[in-house]
Amino acid sequence: MVFIITEHIHSSAFFFVKTKIPHGTRAIMVSDNNNPLPPPPPPPANKNPKDPSSPYFLNPNDGPTTLLTCHLLTADNYHSWARTIRRSLRIKKKLGFIDGILREPTSPNDPLLEPWLECNDMVITWLQNAMSLEIKNSVVYVDTAHDLWLELEQRFAQNNGPRIYELKQSINSLVQGDDSVSLYFSKLKGLLDELLNFESLPSCTCGAMKNVFEHQQYDWSMKFLMGFHDSFTNIKTQIILIKPIPSLSEVYALVQ
Asked whether residue 127 is domain-assigned, the answer is no
Measured CA to CA, the distance from residue 236 to residue 51 in angstroms comes to: 56
Asked whether residue 64 is domain-assigned, the answer is no
The mean pLDDT value of the chain amounts to 84
Higher pLDDT, 137 or 213: 137
Helix, strand, or coil (residue 243): coil
Q: Could you tell me the pLDDT band of residue 198, with boundaries at 50, 70 and 90?
A: confident
Q: How many domains does the chain have?
A: 1
Range of the domain at 251: 174-181+194-255
Q: Which residues of 81-90 are buried (b: 16+ CB within 10 A; e: fewer)?
A: bbebbeebbe
Reply yes or no on whether the pLDDT at 14 is more than 60. no
User: What percent of the chain clears pLDDT 90, i.e. is strictly above it?
Assistant: 63
pTM of the model: 0.64
Q: What is the pLDDT of residue 194?
A: 87
Relative to beta strand 2-10, strand 13-21 is antiparallel
Mutual angle of helices 181-198 and 161-173, in 10-degree steps? 150
> Under 8 Å CB-to-CB from 84, ≥6 apart: which residues?
68, 69, 71
Asked whether residue 229 is domain-assigned, the answer is yes
Asked whether residue 58 is domain-assigned, the answer is no
Q: What is the pLDDT of residue 204?
A: 64
DSSP states along 65-101: T--S-SSPB-SS-HHHHHHHHHHHHHHTT-HHHHHT-
Asked whether residue 99 is domain-assigned, the answer is no
Q: Look at 20-29, 35-44, 132-141, 172-181 and tell me which has the smallest mean pLDDT.
A: 20-29
Asked whether residue 125 is domain-assigned, the answer is no
